[in-house]
């Protein structure tokens, strides 16, 4: 529907699932039984080791939503869970994950891969049907999103440093993209997004649902059609969309100027 951005999606559980149906197991690392001497150890008992450096400097906060690929093994080398074998990364609010995950992922930057040795008291705590004892996770931190329920401070009005188009659309790039292509007004695109009203109320978010949204740019509000066409893949941009480029005061839709954070994940050929 042209004016509907609210897409029913899958709401993912926050904690790392254990015991999910798996495809063939991934080989356990040679140091799965115990953390090596060069692993960093914290006061809680967590040990971790950098496998691949990240690409940035910012680290997730406990309130952030993260996208990760991961594999988990028991200390005897049995793989019990893996997003890799399912073929899809996982997205969830970090504060709903295992205690050991919360601590480990907050050490990481986007693009980083880290191995974490998690003691039982920071893992499944002997819960029935869950792996007992210490567990080991290899975690790839793919992306971080601010908590969509917390509106950005500039949501009340378009700031002076925002760029403006002739239609009245305002925007500011939050994260530089990695691609070069821009979408046509009729392209199919896949995005993550969150929308707020100017009083700070979040009214729609693919981030909160845990799954991205795909649509044609000629099937959404005018501000989206114009704004997303300015972006390249991998870019995250904040848009201030006047009411005449949004829902135009329609009953049942958010009124007034709207603010969206949009990350363009993919432009279909």
Candidate list 70, 92, 193, 239, residue with the active-site label? 193
Distance of CA 112 to the CA centre of its chain: 15
How far apart are alpha carbons 37 and 138 in whole angstroms?
18
Of the candidates 175, 176, 172, 177, the residue with the CA atom closest to the CA atom of residue 154 = 172
Tell me, yes or no, if 221 is annotated catalytic.
Answer: yes
> Considering 139, 204, 241, 261, which one is annotated as catalytic?
204
Residue 76, judged by CB atoms within 10 A of its CB (0-12, 13-18, 19+), counts as: exposed
Compute the residue count for the chain.
269
Tell me, yes or no, if 215 is annotated catalytic. no
Q: Which of the following is catalytic: 92, 145, 171, 260?
A: 260
For residue 154, indicate whether it is catalytic: no
Q: Which one from 92, 145, 247, 262 is the annotated catalytic residue?
A: 247
Which residue in the list 203, 218, 244, 268 is annotated as catalytic?
203
State yes or no: is 80 an active-site residue: no
Q: How far apart are CA 248 and CA 60, in angstroms?
A: 36
Report in angstroms the alpha-carbon separations of 172 from 63, 153, 226, 263: 23, 14, 14, 12
204 is catalytic: yes
For residue 186, indicate whether it is catalytic.
no
* CA dihedral (2, 212, 165, 154) positive or negative: positive
Q: Which of 67, 138, 139, 221 is catalytic?
A: 221
Identify the CA nearest to 263 among candidates 232, 242, 240, 241.
Answer: 232
Catalytic annotation, residues: 193, 203-204, 221, 247, 260
């Amino acid at each position: 529907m042209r004016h509907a951005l609210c897409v029913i999606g899958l709401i993912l559980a926050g904690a790392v699932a254990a015991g999910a149906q798996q495809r063939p197991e991934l080989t356990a690392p040679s140091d799965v039984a115990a953390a090596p001497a060069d692993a960093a150890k914290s006061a809680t008992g967590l040990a971790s080791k950098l496998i691949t450096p990240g690409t940035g400097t910012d680290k997730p906060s406990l309130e952030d939503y993260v996208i990760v690929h991961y594999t988990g093994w028991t200390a005897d080398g049995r793989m019990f869970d893996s997003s890799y074998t399912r073929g899809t990364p996982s997205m969830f609010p970090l504060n709903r994950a295992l205690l050991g995950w919360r601590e480990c992922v907050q050490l990481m930057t986007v693009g980083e891969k880290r191995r974490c040795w998690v003691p039982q008291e920071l893992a499944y705590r002997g819960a029935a049907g869950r792996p007992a004892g210490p567990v080991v996770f290899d975690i790839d931190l793919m992306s971080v999103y601010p908590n969509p329920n917390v509106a950005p401070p500039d949501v009340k009005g378009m700031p002076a440093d925002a760029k403006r188009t002739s239609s009245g659309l305002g925007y500011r790039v939050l994260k530089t993209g990695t691609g070069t292509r821009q979408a046509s007004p009729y392209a199919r695109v896949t995005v993550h997004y969150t929308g707020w009203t100017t009083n700070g109320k979040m009214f729609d978010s693919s981030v909160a649902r845990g799954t991205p949204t795909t649509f044609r740019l000629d099937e959404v509000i005018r501000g989206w059609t114009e704004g997303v066409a300015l972006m390249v893949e991998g870019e995250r941009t904040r848009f201030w969309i006047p009411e005449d480029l949004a829902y135009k005061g329609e009953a049942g839709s958010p009124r007034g100027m709207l603010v969206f954070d949009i990350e363009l994940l993919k432009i279909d050929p």
